[in-house]
Structure 1
Amino acid sequence: MRDDSRLPSAPGFWRSPLRGPWFTSVLGLVLLVGITVLFVTGLLSYAAYNPDLASVNDKTPDKGILGFYLFAWPTNPYWLYRLNQGVHVTLGITLIPVLLAKLWSVVPRLFALPPARSLAHALERVSLLLLVGGALFEFVTGVLNVQLEYVFPGSFYPLHFYGAWVFFAAFTAHAALKTPAAVRNLRGLRKEREPVAETEPAAEPETLASPRPDTPTVSRRGALAFVGGGSLLLFLTTAGQSADGLLRRTALLAPRGGPDPGTGPNGFQINKTARYAGIRTAETSREAWRLVVTGRTGTVRLGRDDLLRLPLHSASLPIACVEGWSTSDQWWRGVRLLDLAALVGHDDPPDVFVESLQRRGAFRHAALRANQVADPRSLLALYVNGEELSPDHGHPARVIVPAAPGVLNTKWVARMTFGDL
């Protein structure tokens, strides 16, 4: 008689005694809370890019009804985007061991035969494929983006955005079906407090628990402690990228968010260098560079000396990027955006379209909403921490706006157009 226990579809193939309703339920409830927070912070991050303002900011032009919730991103509190994106990225990385353990705990069901016993069961299996595939897709692309490894086809923004909606739809349906049972499992099962020697496989239909389990070598709470330890390790080596103080020194997994790279007033994190962006020294010199400002009353061209004759203002603001890393607060000094708008006839600051000298990379242009222009802390910065901007930080001038994603704080500014976009 043929032994089919070597096939993944056979219940006897999966031998771990840890699989069971309690272990799966604990992991599932953790993911229920964590993934909900990830989805909400992800949507808020997308809103912060002002995708409805101008096509240059919108990396998902066919979003349709998926953009129903968009709103004008506020400038207060000034650390809002830093907090939101720090939570989004840090939590996503921290949940990776939990997600992998959850997938491991239910993997026998992915191979169960027959694949569909009824129409309802077939729909459940399809939703399960969307759930598992969506989870892996979102976490993998998210981690690759954090590590600045763009090996996937197309732009990260639409892939991650549309993938998030597909995944969360499947996740919501799955949670609605499984959460009541998960809560009952946690209330009803007490054997998980037993020592390893007394750990027994839980009675569970549909092949989740093995009918022929191996001898246990760890208790279920020990396995949960192992998963929790992995999450804690990832948290400690990531969270510092969006924090200040000693924790920043532990951000070993953050390409840009670790200890300050260098000393002096310009010694803080850099995303794109002037060399990478294709900035030529000749075009940023005091003699050559001119800022072109266009608005209701026409166009003015301002050299650095012209800008220095305008009232200068200061603001203490961080730079926070979509990858989750941020700088500590830096002291910026320059001309307020609302004063530049007034130079070209806009007493009530409108939206502005900002163009850079940058030749390579994404976001060579950016658009800002009127409320961002009107904030007195929004500057065309000429100095940082008492010194002229370095080439890598945007010399001769860069935009800095409170609570805005870092890519909207355009460096090497060449032109600003105020008015309807």
Structure 2
Amino acid sequence: MGDTRRKAAAHLSSLPLPTEPASWRSPVRGVRFTAVLGVVLLAGLTLMFVTGLFSYAAYNPGLAAVNDKTPDKGLLGFYLFDWPTGPHWLYRLNQGVHVTLGIVLVPVLLAKLWSVVPKLFRLPPARSVGHALERLSLLLLVGGALFEFLTGLLNIQLEYVFPGSFYPLHFYGAWVFFAAFAAHTALKLPRALRVLRAGIPPGEKDELASPDPAEPTVSRRGALAMVGTGSLLLLLTSAGRSFDPLRKTALLTPRGGADPGPGPNGFQINKTAAKAGIVPADTGERWRLTVVGPAGEIRLSREQLAAMAQFSAALPIACVEGWSTSDQWWRGVRLRDLAGLAGYGDDAPGVLVESLQRSGPFRTVALRDNQVRDGRSLLALGVNGEALSMDHGYPARVIVPAAPGVMNTKWVTRLTFGEL
């Protein structure tokens, strides 16, 4: 046993340090290989950043404090705009692209980091002020990328374990990462494009290639093919969470594989009544909807709501985790009709929606006036020809076109028009 330990220690002591070029001998590494991955990430991460900003805007954080999970955003919210209600699948498309792209790019990101990891160990750590700033930007770039992907993937799986709220951490992290990403792109993109077009100029050293490469086991093209195959596999095992015929192929994401149940209410849900703390006594005969406006407080039973003019709308449920349902047929009272009952005319204002849910985020949300006025925005009493189930929001829930799933409040108990 002693001899074995001594031999193992001797072998380890003979290995080159990570700071020595001899410790990185893969023949796959090279400027051109890294440039290909970098261009793919440039397009993919830019689209992810833009769709992420749109996703944040869809919550209408500038409308009311209850919607804003990042109250200290300051100038970072300069781009916010009134989120529209059309097309009705807008948020479903935006968030589906954002999350699916994030999953698909994981192999590309890991391969890119692997391709440049020798540079992180080179000495001296800073040869000049400019070089020090470049290394600092790389630290923010690599750390920001790993943080954003990790928090995003944990949120997709509904197993988020970081301290603090996902929303501000992911939002601020995205800005830090993208600032470093933009600086890195400005520095590196011109050379990457030159290398992709014409290769490394004669006499110029490939600083990423090993000076003493090992015997190749795979070509650079083969390595790129492996990365692409990994991304394709992730696409095939995640994208189905938004398409009913392919949902069982979504093995790596929630809402895939598991059967949500039969019948008209048999489609995906995010939060069950039990998880929200809803019990049958909350939604029984004593339940009333309180509508508040210039006409005062009006209390309506479910039977009285059902006696009002009923309208239908085909709308999906689409959530921040990237999953969505197909269009479901919802039926109930238009929000603008309830605004009229509260004392408003055609100029219906926004509304504060409160749920029976006892705790957790988005127990109360605010909807914009354009959302209230849209004829497809309903206080739904039923779906697909049947009364809502408890898990889908019985006795009444909000459904609004193009809105994130958490804005479609379930178990509604109070609507206050005009005071946000």
**TM-score tier (shorter):** over 0.9
Corresponding residue number in structure 1 for 2:4: none
Q: Secondary structure at the match of 1:320?
A: coil
SS of alignment partner, residue 23 of structure 1:
helix
Deviation string 1:11-31 (CA, Å, 9 cap, x unpaired) is 111010110011000000000
In the other structure, the counterpart of 1:194 is: none
1:111 has 2:121 as partner = yes
| 2:175 alignment counterpart | 165
Q: 1:57 aligns with which of 55, 67, 70?
A: 67
Give the match for residue 123 of structure 1.
133
Q: Could you say which residue in structure 2 is the equivalent of 1:398? A: 397
Please point out which of 335, 338, 363 is paired with 1:340: 338
State the distance in 2 between where 1:112 and 1:151 align: 34
Structure 1 letter corresponding to 2:233: L
Cα deviation, 1:172-217, whole Å, max 9, x if unaligned, reads 0001111111111111239xxxxxxxxxxx9875852111110001
Is 1:154 the counterpart of 2:153 in the alignment?
Answer: no
**Distance of 2:321 and 2:257 partners within structure 1:** 13
Aligned to 1:220: 220
Check conservation: 2:291, 2:342, Cα contact below 8 A: yes
Q: Do the aligned partners of 2:331 and 2:381 also contact (CA within 8 Å) in 1?
A: yes
RMSD: 1.6
Q: Quote how far apart the aligned CAs of 1:283 are.
A: 1.7
User: % of aligned pairs identical?
Assistant: 73
TM alignment of 1:89-100, pairs within 5 A: 89-100=99-110
Give the aligned partner of residue 269 of structure 2. 270
* Partner residue, 1:288: 286
Q: Does 1:327 align with 2:330?
A: no
Letter in 2 for 1:379: L
On the 8 A contact 2:249/2:256 being kept in 1, the answer is no
* Contact 2:31/2:206 (8 A) holds in 1: no
The answer (yes or no) to whether the contact 2:125–2:132 under 8 Å persists in 1 is yes
In structure 1, the residue corresponding to 2:67 is in which secondary structure? coil
| CA deviation string 1:27-72 (max 9, x = no partner) | 0000000000000000000000000011110000000010001011
Deviation digits for residues 138-197 of structure 1 (CA, Å, limit 9, x no counterpart): 00000000000121010000000000000000000001111111111111239xxxxxxx
Provide the C-alpha distance between the structure 1 equivalents of 2:204 and 2:214, rounded to a whole number of angstroms. 16
| 88 and 340 in structure 1: CA distance in 2 versus 1, 3 angstrom threshold | same
Which residue does the alignment assign to 1:311?
Answer: 309
Q: Tell me whether 6-15 or 163-172 shows the greater mean CA deviation.
A: 6-15
Question: Displacement of 1:4 after TM fit?
Answer: 8.3
Check conservation: 1:276, 1:360, Cα contact below 8 A: no
Q: How does 1:151-230 map to 2 (within 5 A)?
A: 151-189=161-199, 205=205, 207-230=207-230
Partner of 2:7: none
The aligned counterpart of 1:198 is none
When normalised by structure 2's length, the TM-score is 0.94
Secondary structure (helix, strand or coil) at the match of 2:66 reads: coil
Q: For 1:12 and 1:99, how far apart are their aligned partners in 2?
A: 24
Amino acid at match of 2:94: N
Query: 1:273 and 1:244 mapped to 2: Cα distance?
Result: 20
Provide, for residues 52-101 of structure 1, a one-character-per-residue CA deviation record: whole Å limited to 9, x for no partner. 01111000000001000101100100000000000000000000000000
Give, in angstroms, the shift of residue 248 of structure 1. 2.1
Q: 1:4 to 1:206 in 2, by over 3 A?
A: farther
Q: Is the 8 A contact 2:30 2:207 kept in 1?
A: no
Give the Cα separation in 1 of the matches to 2:56 and 2:14: 49
Indicate the residue corresponding to 1:142 in structure 2.
Answer: 152
TM-score by length of 1: 0.94
Distance 2:391 2:129 in 1: 59
* Contact 2:294 2:343 (C-alpha < 8 Å) held by counterparts: yes
Structure 1: gaps of 5 or more residues: 191-201
SS at match of 2:65: coil
CA distance in 1, matches of 2:199, 2:231: 25
Whole-Å separation in 2 of the counterparts to 1:291 and 1:133: 48
Query: Does the aligned pair in 1 maintain the 2:30–2:206 contact within 8 Å?
Result: no
Name the count of aligned residue pairs.
407
Distance 2:61 2:112 in 1: 35
Q: Is the counterpart of residue 351 in structure 1 residue 361 in structure 2? A: no
Q: Which amino acid aligns with 2:220?
A: R
For residue 336 of structure 2, give the secondary structure of its aligned residue in structure 1.
Answer: helix
